[in-house]
Amino acid sequence: MRTLLPASILPASTASATTLAAALAALLSASSAFAADGARPEVDAQAQRLQPKVLAWRRDIHQHPELGNREVRTSKLVADHLRKLGFEVKTGIATTGVVAVLKGGKPGPRIALRADMDALPVTERNDLPFASKATSTFRGETVGVMHACGHDAHTSILMGVAEALAAMKADLPGEILFVFQPAEEGPPDGEEGGAEEMLKQGIFRDFKPEAVFGLHVFSTLNAGKVGYRSGPTMAASDRFNIVIKGRQTHGSRPWGGVDPIVAAADVIGSAQTIVSRRQNISKQPVVVSFGAIKGGIRYNIIPDQVELIGTIRTFDEGMRQAVFKDLVNVAEHVSAAHGATAVAQVPDTKGNPVTVNDPALTAKMVPSLQRAAGAGNVVEMDLNMGAEDFSFYAREVPGFFFFVGATPQGQDPVKAPSNHSPEFFLDESALDVGFRSMLQVTLDYLHGRA
Q: Among this protein's residues, is 116 annotated catalytic?
A: no
> What are the percentages of helix, strand and coil residues in the chain, rounded to 5?
40, 25, 35
Number of residues binding to Zn ion, judged by CB under 5 A: 1
Q: In the beta sheet, which residues pair with residue 88?
A: 101
Residues between 99 and 128 with contacts to Zn ion, criterion CB under 5 A: none
Q: Please, which residue, 199 or 234, has the CB nearer to Zn ion?
A: 234
Chain residues 344-383 in contact with Zn ion, contact rule CB under 5 A: none
Q: Which of 42, 66, 116, 118 is catalytic?
A: 118
DSSP strand E in 120-172: where?
A: 135-138, 141-144
Residue nearer to Zn ion on the CB measure, 149 or 439: 149
Strand pairing category for 399-407 and 211-222: parallel
Site for Zn ion in 386-405 (CB under 5 A): none
Nearer to Zn ion, 64 or 114 (CB): 114
**CA nearest neighbour of 139 among 70, 66, 188, 95:** 188
> What residues does 222 pair with on adjacent strands?
407
- Please report how close the Cβ of residue 217 comes to Zn ion at its closest, in angstroms: 8
Q: Which is nearer to Zn ion, 86 or 291 (CB)?
A: 291
**100 strand-pairing partners:** 89, 178
Query: What is d(CA 406, CA 380) in angstroms, rounded to the nearest whole number?
Result: 16
- Active-site residue, from 66, 163, 175, 184: 184
Contacts (CB under 5 A) with Zn ion, residues 131-160: 149
* Nearest residue (CB) to Zn ion, 344 versus 356: 356
Least distance between Zn ion and beta carbon 149 (Å): 3
Q: Cα(344)–Cα(342) distance, rounded to whole angstroms?
A: 6
d(CA 413, CA 418): 8
Shortest distance (Å) from residue 71 CB to Zn ion: 14
**Catalytic site includes residue 184:** yes
* Residue 244 DSSP code: E
**CB of 387: closest distance to Zn ion in angstroms?**
9
d(CA 265, CA 258): 14
| Closest CB 118 distance from Zn ion, rounded Å | 8
The CB-nearest residue to Zn ion is 149
What are the φ/ψ torsions at residue 255 (nearest 5 degrees)? -70, -10
Q: Please answer whether residues 82 and 162 qualify as being in contact, where contact means their C-beta atoms are separated by less than 8 angstroms.
A: yes
Cβ nearer to Zn ion, comparing 83 with 420 = 420
Q: DSSP string spanning 359-385?
A: HHHHHHHHHHHHHHH-GGGEEEPPPB-
DSSP string, 268-299: HHHHHHIIIIIS-TTTS--EEEEEEEE--SST
Least separation, in Å, of the C-beta of 137 and Zn ion?
Answer: 20
Walk across the sheet containing 399-407 and list its strands. Answer: 88-93, 97-103, 173-181, 106-116, 211-222, 399-407, 226-228, 378-380
Cβ closest to Zn ion, residue 153 vs residue 346: 153
Min CB(379)–Zn ion separation in Å: 19
List interacting residues with Zn ion (CB under 5 A).
149
Active site residues: 118, 184
